[in-house]
Chains A and B, each alone.
Chain A
Amino acid sequence: MSDSLNIAGKSYQSRLLVGTGKYQDFKQTRAAIDASGAEIVTVAIRRTNIGQTAGEPSLLDFLPPDQFTYLPNTAGCYSADDAVRTLRLARELLDGHTLVKLEVLGDPNTLYPNMIETIAAAKVLVKDGFDVMVYCSDDPIMAKQLEDIGCCAVMPLASLIGSGMGILNPWNLQIIIANANIPVLVDAGVGTASDAAIAMELGCQGVLMNTAIAAARDPIQMAGAMKKAVEAGREAYLAGRMAKKLYSASPSSPTTGLIS
């Protein structure tokens, strides 16, 4: 059975997308990503350290761009202009690569997205030929507008970045999913495997996470748990869950043939 995640014309077997930040070292980063089975990995774009980099290994040495699909992000950007500028640099850095994660933050404490700036940046980037996966609030109207602009995926937060609070508003997510004609992925807020499973059971096309894996006591084991959770949640969604009932008066064992 082929059940692939399709984003911007490319299909992926894994529905788990992972970040590459907050790990002990590159070796652990690679081991966790291998355990997660992720094919798409996010990276940040930052000023190169000048003067102390000779011979120093880089993230790209551990995650060769020909083995993974890079998803450069705009983490740390608070304006549309900065986000667009960052992703244009990323495109140059990655030899014309157009798949990107747009996030424009509104506040350094909550890291909640600034949707006005996000929408402004999305318009520029789509026009400029980028395939934009966009981190957004879980507001169904915003998600629809981002789709109408031409983003290739919307990625509403489950809860705040790095909070591990899980899915706080499954109802909004369901509305976004029901109205979307592009993939909806949960990005941010997943804390443990059950959160990822719930996101997938709701009908998300995928889940993007970083801290839930990197900040686990054993990141590599957690990466494996997330892989299974995303797969299980997806299968449960496809299988179609039974209806919830307060009680059913319908036991699973035969009601006849009882001894007397």
Chain B
Amino acid sequence: MQLTINGKARDFAVTQLTVAELVLQLSLEGKRLAIERNGEIVPRSQFANTLLAAGDQLEIVGAVGGG
């Protein structure tokens, strides 16, 4: 399954993937982040039961220093 994450295409050797599983695969578990899927925010409480589809566009963001 190919997903576009933060503007970059990435392949995952699975046929089914939830947002929670994706977070694990990307070694982002436990990090404070927010995820937008195809322009819609996926609430953290929905990570485990949100199934991703091939071609999904994901934005994964966090807080950084800024003014």
With an 8 Å Cβ cutoff, the count of chain B residues facing the other chain is: 25
Q: Is the CB of A50 within 8 A of B34?
A: no
The DSSP consensus for interface residues of chain A is mixed
The interface bits of chain B over 29-57 (1 if a CB of A lies within 8 angstroms of the residue's CB, else 0) are 00111101001010110000000000000
CB-based nearest A residue for B6: A47
For residue B48, give the distance in angstroms from its CB to the closest CB of chain A: 16
Q: Which A residues touch B62, using CB under 8 A?
A: 45-46, 48, 58, 93
Q: Is the CB of B63 within 8 A of A59?
A: yes
Q: Is the CB of A210 within 8 A of B6?
A: no
What separation, in Å, do the CA atoms of A219 and B8 have in the docked complex?
A: 37
**Given that A47-B61, A50-B6, A90-B34 are contacting pairs, would A73 and B67 also be in contact in the complex, using a CB cutoff of 8 Å?**
yes
| B contacts, CB < 8 Å to A | 5-8, 26-28, 31-34, 36, 39, 41, 43-44, 59-67
Q: List 18 A-B contacts (CB under 8 A).
A: A21-B65, A23-B65, A43-B65, A44-B64, A46-B62, A47-B7, A47-B59, A47-B61, A48-B28, A50-B5, A50-B8, A53-B28, A59-B63, A59-B65, A70-B63, A75-B67, A93-B33, A93-B62
| A contacts, CB < 8 Å to B | 19-23, 26, 29, 42-48, 50-51, 53-54, 58-60, 70, 72-73, 75, 85, 88-90, 92-94, 161, 209-211
